[in-house]
Amino acid sequence: MNRKGFTLVEIMIVVAIIALLAAIAIPNLLRARVSANDSLAQSTLRALSTAAETYGTANSGNYPAQVSSLINATPPYLNTFYCGSTLSGFSYTCTFSTTGYTLQAAPVEKNVTGTSTYTLTTGGVLTAK
């Protein structure tokens, strides 16, 4: 009787190869996700800053006293309320006054959801710590 199939050794070799490929690929995927979260945090802060700067230009150089002024305007300067929320592994805090603003995006878990805490201040100056 001639049986066709795989031996245990052949199956173990295939499993070992798959495990090796997974060990190489998974850290790269996690790194890519962290990098994407960092980029999104920076983009979100820039969107908030652009909205505040546009508001200031339209209101004789006075910045919004609170983020709701950006959202409740007609038409709105900003469509989403980011301040005080968590998005893609970053927590956002915003401080507004009529003379300026400070925006911050901090990773929920450093080096897992993001690598740096980003701060953007009046005039669009972005720093990372």
Please give the model's pTM, rounded to 2 decimal places. Answer: 0.80
Residues, the chain, total? Answer: 129
Contact partners, residue 104, CB within 8 Å, separation at least 6: 45, 92, 93, 94, 117, 118, 119, 120
Model pLDDT, residue 4: 79
Model pLDDT, residue 111: 87
Q: Which residues of the chain have pLDDT under 70?
A: 1
Model pLDDT, residue 19: 92
SS (H, E, C) 75-119: CCCCCCCCCCCEECCEEEEEEEECCEEEEEEEECCECCCECCCEE
Model pLDDT, residue 1: 64
- Which amino acid type is present at position 112? V
